[in-house]
Structure 1
């Protein structure tokens, strides 16, 4: 009987040691490394890592459907920046801290407090190449010791799948941002009329339909004017068929020799642009310079007043300025008689 108990006890001891050995071997965290090429400048990609507020746009562990508290402390970017979160038991709590950030390398420490404690060191290496930026993400445990309770509970550590998903999402958002290009188109003409007379036609949005070439594409489009005419805040809304789309023009600022406006397009694609007219006396007339600037969308598109596409901005501006010149100069000749 005693022998039987001793054998049983021995089996239990051996089994326990074996289990602990297996669990300890499972807990040992070998570094995990994954890479991806992001078609974007190195600096732009690295800033999404060094700025922890940007992690919400690509992190594989980010959950937009979860309710939790976020807190960002320290500098906006670089060493010392922290991102803390706390949610329910399913979401847990923890923090990220940027340990160091140098050209081509960022180190971030991940500390999970619950549901189970875990500490992981993240290292990001960036190498610029002809086709973009190669990002290498390495995850390694800072401390692979754990209590038996944590081992039996199966504390979760970052996996290769997590890193792959995170890099894929980083690639998506960084490349979309890089695809947004700034454009600027400028055209000029000289109108044989005093500066005040020319500026009056530009600042009064009710006149725009008289000199816009594309307005003729849809004679039945709906138009609405709001605000005080010829002053900042004055707005012109239009809505028509697919040829002219819909949107609005808002006067931002009016000063002698300068009119600043904003064009917001709703259809066919949401788009915005800054518009500026500068006027200067030239001989007996007025030199008008018209500038349109803005951002292309991720697909490289942009639209202006009456849905004119970006590739036709220059031709449309030339046509409009020619019509404006004819309109003003004809009115002056008629008035002179």
Structure 2
């Protein structure tokens, strides 16, 4: 049976944009990221013809990426036509997104915006997020009613966790997902492994739901007992995700992302090569983002240069030295 990452990369995607350069850019980026079934259209009428031909074959696209400025029928109109037939996610490509634009799609579900010009990492993350939710929900609908309700509840927790705690965790997880993908690409991982690491980065701190808000927002140093509570979040994170079989490949990465190269980390005190590779990468990404963003216990984040120096100092103790070398020498930040 294929795992989730493999099914994501075999999903069918339709891109429609009147700008030939953007159309080519998106097509090549998705191809580089491992997506094998991408169809392109340069105008709305062609896009609708492709959708109709697909449906006549008894198939439908898993994801639509639509330029809002398409001639004849703009992206909003095509989106409404799609919603009459399908609940597949739609990503609208727009140069500006304000309240007016959001109001036009407020009644429609599974619609996201991607603002031009966009960094390529944003394309990968948004496409993965949309397809992950879409494929899981579709499969859950095919399961029996009892399991469907159980896993839909779990899925709802997963998709809304970061917003349900506070904004910091949402931004942190998004940033970490981007960084782990950068490291994995620099290490020449295959697309499937890059996707799995992105998923792990997005959900690695979901277990923070179990930590009291007073601890998370404490401005000073945590007590020994408080830190013991925080350390449980890695095990809680993997436990929350465990019922979803398609995410089984990321469980060890998430559980062990606070292990240290010298064996001094948690939760299991793993050392060096006994720590899963994904967890070693996630450890570096998580630490870098923590250093360079505001925290309740530290209002002044480190600069990029200072954080790189700290990461380098931790090579061989907290971090895998080979991953530190890749991170400090090959990963680029905008």
Under TM normalisation by the shorter chain, which class is it?
under 0.3
TM-score (norm 1): 0.23
Of the two, which has the highest radius of gyration? 1
Q: Which is bigger in relative contact order (C-alpha 8 A, separation at least 6)?
A: 1
- Given the two structures, how large is their TM-score scaled by the length of structure 2? 0.23
